[in-house]
Amino acid sequence: MAISELAAACGVDLGALDRVLRLLTTHGIFERQQGGYCHTPSSHLLRSDHPVTMRPFAQMMGLPFVWGSLAELKHSVRTGKPAIEVMEPKGVFAYLQDRPDEAAIFGRAMTAKASVDIGAVIAAYDFASFGRIADIGGGRGHLLRAVLEATPGANGILFDLAAVIDTVTPRTSPGSPCRRAISSRRATQCGRICPHGSAARLARRAVRRDPERDSARGASQCHRSGSRRFDSGTAG
């Protein structure tokens, strides 16, 4: 597409847009052609209609709390605490709770990131020996849904903060008996402590959000509340 057409469609300065796109081409995002730019495999991931779109994740990177945290890096270096505490002393989730528009983008970004990892998790582990599986900090349940699809004999618990669980709706339709079956085997639960009564617990990057000591405490709570845990992304 011609750079002049892109600038007009976006309502931005042609020269400035051209410099930004030229920078992106050095990272394999877009390809420069005569008078314009075309897509590359990497730039296709920014399309909303891509099957594993990362567009929401890119949008999240532009949110005020992300840029604000980067600007306060010195706070983390000096204190060892998250930079977000400068903007919101109670942490990122308290910040997002008061800003529903940013929280919605954050939620879509986490869903997009989970969708990319699902195939690797399913291929790496056989969950068939577990009758009940809990996804700790599982967001909207994409990973848990995939695990249950691959493990017909198991039931699942989607465990997250109340503000996240409230946004979860079953993905069912009259023509989708598989989706109806998965929803019937998946329950939701909110809280801050790992749920009891599950043979397996997924913790996909959930503990990385906290300081190392708190992460270790959370992992210990999960261990004490169940027999076995497959962890696809703990801090370490």
Cβ atoms 11, 17 nearer than 8 A: no
Domains in the chain (CATH in brackets) are 3-44 (no CATH), 51-121 (no CATH), 125-224 (3.40.50.150)
pTM over 0.75: no
Distance between CA atoms of residues 42 and 105, nearest Å: 21
Strand ranges in 67-154 using DSSP code E only, listed in sequence order: 132-136
Say which residue the tokens 């847009």 belong to.
17
27 CB neighbour count, 10 Å cutoff: 10
DSSP 8-state symbol, 194: P
Task: State the pLDDT at residue 93.
Answer: 83
Distance between CA atoms of residues 150 and 123, nearest Å: 10
Alpha helix ranges (H) inside the chain: 3-10, 14-25, 41-44, 55-60, 64-71, 73-79, 84-87, 92-97, 100-124, 142-150, 162-165, 177-184, 212-224
Task: State the pLDDT at residue 172.
Answer: 43
Task: State the pLDDT at residue 136.
Answer: 78
| Helices and strands in the chain: count of H runs, count of E runs | 13, 6
* Under-50 pLDDT residues of the chain: 171-182, 192, 208-209, 227-236
Burial-class residue 168 by CB neighbours within 10 Å (0-12, 13-18, 19+): middle
CA triple 219-221-222, angle to 5 deg: 65
